[in-house]
A and B are shown apart, each in its own frame.
Chain A
């Protein structure tokens, strides 16, 4: 247990959500559900944040914004896809302007489906994300984790649009690959 997961700050970005999940994220922070009792504060500054909540699917116009926010966040960081649109594209998957879930743009650590996701689900996902955060912190302390910003050109991200999951690009598998390369 470290101080990081005792008080993780979160940043929220609405990729192309219908607002349903966004207002549930905000509802989590208000008196009824009160995420602040876990030390969680909503911040607008990516440099302050440890947890990145993405709602909604990614499209051509906002894929860069999502990646910019992700790149500005400092390690260790956790990405949580809130709602089914952020997980897979959801009901809008067939729309012409939807590329897919948040994992098209950035590596996602926790998937939290639901339409709209309930505040209880968000709290569960954040608490689960804190476990990942702690693992990453340990890896960082041991010198195994280095921050690698996403490439500027989106060609790699766009390849995965055809419904493939992007788990192969997730952080841990990159790490494992590096480990096996080194060995």
Chain B
């Protein structure tokens, strides 16, 4: 046993697209303790509800995070609709789920690419991001934006997608899925990839529950946790929904869960496009939230369960708005799996929980 050394990791580090700082306490090459330090991306946007009214704030909420942008605007809108008891047109609910699942495909492909980059497989990184551009093209054609969509607002969605276009989207996704299967062979079967992932960052089912992990991080440890099972919004229209889980609990299981969720999202989009009803896609919203009213919203983001709370005070401005994001739940689990790992595995361990620092710090 050697002497203890503390190595600062981040906030600027080549493997991290976002600033995150760890104090890594090492004994020789083994991490004894990892102490996360946050705050580099904190903007304080929850407080902006005092300056932007509840219709404008959906734009701020969307900019909590550029990767799960649509999800945040959806979660916020659903919370405000619950607060003001607004009935959303059924077509809007379908369209919201379609965009949200497209976001999940884009987010998971992005993450798989970053993971490949982290273990030094540059080619695989490029291929994942090439496939992701297909989804971004769909976003651009349907909403005009690539990452910040501004498609969802309180009361419905900003614009409709024609039925013919919806069918074309499904065809494009199916074509993409064929190429994606080829990539998955590398991710899930290739020996050099498995060498880097299997057994790295193991989290048992008990620990996953103890640390309150959410999303694919929890599902890869065998927990059946997926808010889409509750059938909120358009998810209630699905015939059958079973979350993708794995019992592995290591980095390989986490990439497997996310990789297979891409197919699940494409299935959801296909099912909803087949039975989307005609009708209006938005609803005029009048008035403002009542004084003393409050509502909560839940959403399964690509990274896990996200929780929203809104409180009205009778004016157009909300009294309080609060978000609990998936990564803030997963940070404790991340610090836990880093104990006892090699220094060289630290980037993989950070990435396999798919951290979104921008969401966490807001």
The interface residues of chain B lying within 8 Å CB-to-CB of A115 are: 63, 148
As a 0/1 sequence over residues 122 to 144 of chain B, the CB contacts with chain A under 8 angstroms (1 = contact) are: 00011001100100100000000
Contact residue among B48, B67, B146 (Cβ-Cβ distance under 8 Å from A94): B48
The interface residues of chain A lying within 8 Å CB-to-CB of B182 are: none
What is the predominant secondary structure among interface residues of chain A facing chain B?
Answer: loop
The interface residues of chain A lying within 8 Å CB-to-CB of B39 are: 61
Contact residue among A16, A17, A32, A92 (Cβ-Cβ distance under 8 Å from B130): A32
**Which chain B residue lies CB-closest to A12?**
B17
Q: Taking the complex as formed, is B43 at the interface, i.e. its CB lies under 8 A from any CB of chain A?
A: yes
What is the predominant secondary structure among interface residues of chain B facing chain A?
Answer: loop
Q: Taking the complex as formed, is A91 at the interface, i.e. its CB lies under 8 A from any CB of chain B?
A: yes
Query: How far, in whole Å, are A22 and B45 apart by their CA atoms in the complex?
Result: 19
Query: How far, in whole Å, are A95 and B63 apart by their CA atoms in the complex?
Result: 13
Q: Taking the complex as formed, is B172 at the interface, i.e. its CB lies under 8 A from any CB of chain A?
A: no
The interface residues of chain B lying within 8 Å CB-to-CB of A21 are: 66
**Interface residues contributed by chain B, number (CB under 8 Å):** 40
A–B complex contacts, Cβ < 8 Å, 20 sampled = A14-B18, A14-B19, A19-B356, A20-B67, A26-B129, A27-B129, A30-B126, A45-B14, A56-B41, A59-B40, A59-B42, A65-B12, A65-B40, A91-B60, A92-B43, A92-B48, A95-B45, A95-B48, A97-B43, A116-B147
The interface residues of chain A lying within 8 Å CB-to-CB of B130 are: 30-32
Contacting pair B66 A98 (CB below 8 A): no
The interface residues of chain B lying within 8 Å CB-to-CB of A136 are: none
Name A residues whose Cβ lies closer than 8 Å to a Cβ of B. 13-14, 16-24, 26-27, 30-32, 43-45, 56-57, 59, 61-62, 65, 69, 91-92, 94-98, 115-116, 118
Contact residue among B19, B66, B145 (Cβ-Cβ distance under 8 Å from A23): B66
- 8 Å CB interface, B176-209 against A: none
The interface residues of chain A lying within 8 Å CB-to-CB of B136 are: 27
Contacting pair A20 B63 (CB below 8 A): yes
Contacting pair B110 A23 (CB below 8 A): yes
Contacting pair A24 B147 (CB below 8 A): yes
For the complex with contacts A59-B42, A95-B45, 9 further pairs of A-B residues with Cβ separation under 8 Å are A16-B361, A17-B66, A21-B66, A23-B110, A27-B129, A27-B136, A92-B48, A92-B63, A118-B146
